[in-house]
Amino acid sequence: MKTKTKNQGKNEERSLEYYNKWDTEKTLKNLIKKSDPLIFDVGANNGSSVNDFKAWWPESHIHCFEPQKECLQDLLDTAALYDGAGSVKINSVAVGSVPTKEATFYTHDINSGISGFNKINMESKDSINLNKLSEQGHSAKQQYADTLNHDRKVEVIRLDDYVNAIDTNLNIDFLKIDTQGFEPEVFDGFGDKLSNVNVVLTELLFFDFYERSLSFSDVEFYLLRSGFSIYDISHISKNPMNGRTDWVDVIYVHERMLR
C-alpha cells in the first residue's frame, strides 16, 4: 500500500508538470508543424473549432462538414473572416458510411452542439439534468422531453468519395470528428482513404446520455488497421453525480508521423 501511494504521488507530480507545459493546442501543433495544414472538420457546428484552427495555423485550409441549417449562417460568417485565401470550405452535409439524402437526424432546442444521428436517452441514468427532473415529477420531465429529439432529413456523404473528387492521393494533415456517437460511421465512410490522414482528434462518448454509447474498440477497429496508434487523451469529462467518465477527446497519430 505504501508503494502504491508513493507511485501515485509521482504520477501526480508528472501530470502537474504535463499540464504546466501542454494542452490540446500545443500537442497538436507539436505533431502538425506545417504552417498550412489541410484540415477536415467533421461536425463543425457553429464554427468555433474553425476559429481555433485558424488561430493555431493561420494559413490552414479547412473543409467543414455540418448538416444543421441553424449553424449554416454562423459557419458562412466564420468562413468569410478568412476568405482572403478562400481557405475555409463549408459543406452543408453530414458524413457517414451510407450516402443518402434522407438520413434521419435529431436536433434539440437546448443546444445545437448535442444534435446528431442518435436520440437523447430519456431513461438515462448518467444525465444529471434528467435525474434532477425525475425528482420534480413526470410533468417536468415531459416538458424537457418536448425540447429534444426533433427529427429531420439530412444528406450524408462518404469522405472517400469526397476525397476522390478532389485528388485520390490527397493528404489530410488533421481530421477532427465531433458527431455525438456517429464517429464509427465517419471512419467507415473514409474507406482506405483513412490512411491518408496524419492526425485524428475524435470524441468518444461512454455515458448513456444518448441511446448509443461507444468504447475505444468502436473507433480503433478502423484506426488501428489504418496505421494509427493512440497518442493522447486530451480531455476527460467526469460525472460528479456518479463518478464515471462521461466522454473523452482522444488524439490518434499515423505511424509515419512517429518514425
pLDDT band at 7 (very low <50, low <70, confident <90, very high): low
Which domains, ranges and CATH numbers included, belong to the chain?
Answer: 38-257 (3.40.50.150)
Dump pLDDT digits (tens) for 114-126.
999 999 999 999 9
pLDDT band at 2 (very low <50, low <70, confident <90, very high): very low
Instruction: Using the predicted structure, report yes or no on whether residue 3 has a pLDDT greater than 70.
Output: no
In the chain, the percentage of residues whose pLDDT exceeds 70 is 96
pLDDT band at 26 (very low <50, low <70, confident <90, very high): very high
d(Cα 193, Cα 177) in Å, to the nearest integer? 15
Instruction: Using the predicted structure, report yes or no on whether residue 37 has a pLDDT greater than 90.
Output: yes
Q: Give the pTM.
A: 0.93
Instruction: Using the predicted structure, report yes or no on whether residue 5 has a pLDDT greater than 60.
Output: no
Q: What is the pLDDT of residue 85?
A: 60
